């Protein structure tokens, strides 16, 4: 379901432009930093899903989802207040200049993220308003070199997982194939991190070309990417629920944050689907049904949300939608209601509820 919705959203976003800059709404440099380690984390998380008991996954799901939803909601409130100040200031300037507002004010990146003290607010112009509504062709909008690197990492790790399914669990070949994923993922992410650290590449979607990345920041963000992947693989998600709020904390505009997190999540979620299929842990007919429903819902949601943001001039709506979706997902995934009920029943029956043995697991 998540893979279908994410793929549909990415397809829609491939033609979209950044809200204020002449660049794609998907930040490929940001994706290059997080996606490889995210996919690596998915592989680790799927293994943990086999080892962890159901009640452990249920409790972890509740803690993580409530925490992320609360954090995203507070960020949304903060962004809403900043947007309100900008709107009032714009209205005051319009009255002072004796002009009337004939169009909705374009979204402007709000202060935030590391080392943004030198950030200057961009001046509003007709070009800025034009960019907000501009769509480019997919061929022109996609950064093919970056996409090729991301796809290569995905294919190599996927090939390792498929080859692993034909070996004996916990055999030498099994662990060798697991370990081969580490240099592939860390190599791609480390290369991008070095380029950001040396200033040869920038996270241009922030609109601040002078951001100075520190080594400990890059290490922390890469670690967050691995953790997001582990949680995504453990809970059967794509990791985008964690990356979205993280990107917002980096000062990335909500539109770009949502689009880039979904882009990275498409790779990781599809990887999770393949791995769970190899473990025979989901029914195919239900999967196809939910893929169809989520794909249609994703297309409709993207169109409606963009129109609302354009009409109201508040990108914070995306953050509130993200927050509410995370909270509702904790319930709709069946863990919070059914999971707790099953946990109580197993406690009453005095069933074994400890860790499982990965080496004795049989698909």
If pLDDT is split at 50, 70 and 90, which confidence band does 340 have?
low
Compute the CA torsion angle 206, 207, 209, 214 (nearest 10 deg).
-20
Instruction: Say how far apart CA 126 and CA 108 lie, in whole Å.
Output: 14
If pLDDT is split at 50, 70 and 90, which confidence band does 22 have?
confident
Domain ranges within the chain, ordered by starting residue: 2-94+105-113+124-353
Mean pLDDT, the chain, integer: 76
- Is the pTM higher than 0.85? The answer reads no
Better pLDDT: 110 or 332: 332
Q: For the residues 283-300, what does the mean pLDDT come to?
A: 74
Give residue-wise pLDDT tens across range 46-63.
Answer: 888 888 877 777 777 778
- Please report the pLDDT score of residue 187 as a whole number: 92
Give residue-wise pLDDT tens across range 132-170.
Answer: 445 657 777 888 888 899 899 988 988 888 888 888 888
């Amino acid at each position: 379901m998540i893979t279908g919705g994410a793929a549909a959203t990415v397809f829609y976003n491939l033609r979209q432009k950044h809200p204020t800059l002449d660049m794609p709404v998907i930040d490929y440099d940001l994706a290059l930093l997080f996606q490889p380690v995210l996919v690596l984390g998915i592989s680790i998380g799927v293994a943990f899903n086999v080892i962890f008991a159901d009640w452990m996954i249920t409790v972890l799901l509740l803690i993580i989802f409530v925490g992320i939803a609360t954090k995203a909601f507070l960020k949304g409130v903060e962004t809403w207040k900043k947007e309100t100040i900008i709107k009032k200031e714009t209205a005051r300037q319009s009255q002072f200049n004796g002009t009337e507002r004939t169009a909705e004010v374009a979204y402007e990146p709000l202060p935030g993220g590391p080392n943004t003290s030198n950030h200057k607010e961009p001046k509003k112009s007709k070009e800025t308003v034009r960019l907000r509504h501009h769509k480019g062709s997919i061929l022109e909008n996609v950064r093919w070199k970056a996409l090729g690197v991301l796809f290569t990492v995905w294919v190599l790790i996927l090939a390792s997982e498929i080859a692993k399914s034909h070996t004996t669990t916990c055999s030498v070949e099994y662990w060798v194939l697991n370990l081969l994923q580490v240099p592939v993922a860390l190599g791609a992410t480390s290369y991008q991190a070095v380029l950001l650290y040396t200033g040869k590449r920038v996270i241009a979607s922030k609109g601040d070309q002078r951001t100075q990345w520190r080594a400990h920041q890059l290490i922390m963000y890469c670690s967050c990417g691995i953790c997001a992947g582990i949680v995504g693989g453990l809970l059967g998600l794509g990791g985008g629920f964690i990356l979205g709020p993280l990107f917002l904390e980096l000062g990335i505009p909500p539109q770009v944050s949502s689009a880039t997190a979904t882009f990275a999540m498409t790779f990781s979620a599809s990887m999770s689907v393949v791995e769970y299929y190899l473990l025979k842990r989901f029914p195919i007919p239900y999967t196809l049904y939910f893929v169809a429903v989520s794909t249609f819902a994703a297309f409709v949601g993207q169109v409606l949300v963009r129109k609302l943001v354009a009409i109201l001039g508040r990108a914070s709506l995306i953050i509130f939608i993200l927050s509410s979706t995370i909270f509702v997902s904790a319930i709709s995934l069946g863990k919070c209601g059914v999971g707790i009920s099953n946990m109580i029943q197993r406690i009453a029956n005095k069933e074994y509820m400890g860790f499982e043995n990965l080496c004795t697991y049989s698909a």
